[in-house]
Amino acid sequence: MTVQNWTLLIVISTFGLYIAIAIWARAGSTKEFYVAGGGVSPLANGLATAADWMSAASFLGMAGLISFNGYDGSVYLMGWTGGYVLLALLLAPYLRKFGKFTVPDFIGDRYYSNIARTVAVFCALLVSFTYVAGQMRGVGLVFSRFLEVPINTGVIIGMIIVLFYAVLGGMKGITYTQVAQYCVLIFAFMVPAIFISFLMTGNPIPQIGMGGKVIGEGVYLLDKLDGLSSELGFSIYTNGSKSTIDIFFITAALMVGTAGLPHVIVRFFTVPKVKDARKSAGFALLFIAILYTTAPAIAVFARTNLIETVSEKEYSSMPEWFSKWEATELITFEDKNNDGKIQYVADKEINELIVDPDITVLANPEIAKLPNWVIALVAAGGLAAALSTAAGLLLVISTSISHDLIKKQIKPDISDKGELIVARLSAVVAVIIAGYFGIHPPDFVAATVALAFGLAAASFFPAIILGIFNKRMNKEGAIAGMVVGILSMLFYMMKFKFNWFGGGTEADWWFGISPEGFGTVAMLINFIISLIISNFTPAPPKEVQEIVENIRIPSGAGEATH
């Protein structure tokens, strides 16, 4: 069968499975819609959390960034992995014991203020919409190439699918759908990696194969890639070109941004007990590690194969996959010297080939000439990764509006059924807006998502950490810190990413820190503003201080409070 036929078969089968699960696990109450009724097992929640966490940015974008940036791309690997550990150990159990459905709900109650809740809702919506733009673009990429439809059409198809199971099932439907999606995405990620590792180095374990010798050449694979990169004028693959300060600030922004991501935090409310939150965090880390330790290997295999396949080769002799990706405009070739050969070099003046990093994982099996069913499987895996995270984000958006705005502030007497209707309508509107961002994304997948982490770091992380560990932190400090932090990040992002406010080049970055790394600076500003203002304003009420004291006490942590 052709790649397209295999793709249709596998994608339709997996989509059918997701929809069937959504119908089986449809939500009948707001508790089921928001937190799956609080009855998910730690193992199932660990699988769902891993799927929620490993978005299109992890599945498609991360290996692409490492592949094209080498050592510099490792910031995403370090930041996202370290951030998950930070979230699991430092925040999840305490937030679970506090017993609130959403991050704005925690902030609103902890800081005894609807203004704080509203600011948190705004931040949650901003983070979630920025993040979901990357997911919808990932869906469009996969459909565009493998079903041979325009990217915009691919985004619309993805919108319809995710809308169905997110709106119908809520968190209950999403949780069990994500269990299936994790199985699909991890299988799709590992199978081609094992294939290619064995073909290139004779070792079927990608993590070991990456450091092995190339069959028949007697040189280590990484040494070979360093040599190929150097010959073409690219920076040596195992060396970095970014400054140490930027590496540090991007990694830190990704770490603390992870710990403030509302769609991941809410997963720890779906288990029955606080100790189950800890267990599911451990399971999720194990499941995440499988993909994250394999991504650098895929990056090395893909980069080596790409350079060897295209560099100085006749354009007319390029294999079929090349023309297929050209049709999506994610690979573009311009024969500047009219010699019919592809000049793929670092010098932009003479370089004739532009490759979007997001196609690395998807094109890798085709470049390596793997069987058609493997190529189709990767497409299904990319869709599973993008849709699982998109669903989680859409749920955050809908609950922020229905629970934190309508129920908690605008109409407190709304019925459970009415709140559920508002949540579903909010999800519909959110999907439409997310689809627009997917069609008009600000950057490629992983970079878009990195900005979402910066926004989460700048807004939520200080408010959550201080809310748990500082009894003296009050509403005035938290509100001021969140507002100044998010505005600082937005200003820097708009100035250097979108060229607003006079724009600026890389040379103009403050202290040499990129927009992706500025979330760390904005977070520090948030901390400073929060602490200063809280020390010059009245202390929180005694009952709030007692709540803070209580959520840090491990004794009696078996049953969660509600």
Which pLDDT belongs to residue 557? Answer: 44
Q: Could you tell me the CA-to-CA distances from 297 to 76, 194, 529 in Å, in that order?
A: 15, 10, 42
| Three-state SS at 355 | strand
Cβ contact 431:136 at 8 Å: no
Q: At 140, phi and psi to the nearest 5?
A: -60, -40
Which pLDDT belongs to residue 31? Answer: 60
Which pLDDT belongs to residue 84? Answer: 81
Token pair, residue 46, equals 């660990």
Task: Say what the pTM is.
Answer: 0.80
The per-residue pLDDT for range 14-51, each reduced to its tens digit, is 878 877 877 776 656 666 565 555 567 888 888 888 88
Name residues whose C-beta falls within 8 Å of residue 328's C-beta, 6 or more positions apart in sequence: 141, 144, 145, 151, 359
Cβ contact 174:428 at 8 Å: no
Ranked by mean pLDDT, which of 70-84, 174-188, 456-470 comes out on top?
456-470
Cβ contact 521:437 at 8 Å: no
> 181 vs 479, which has greater pLDDT?
479
Token pair, residue 150, equals 């325009």
The lowest-confidence range among 257-271, 345-359, 488-502 is 257-271
Residue 85, CA atoms < 13 Å, CB-side half-sphere: 8
- Cβ neighbour number for residue 427 with a 10 Å cutoff: 26
Superfamily of domain 3-551: Sodium/glucose cotransporter (1.20.1730.10)
pLDDT tier, 554 (very low <50, low <70, confident <90, very high otherwise)? low
CA 312 to chain centre: 36
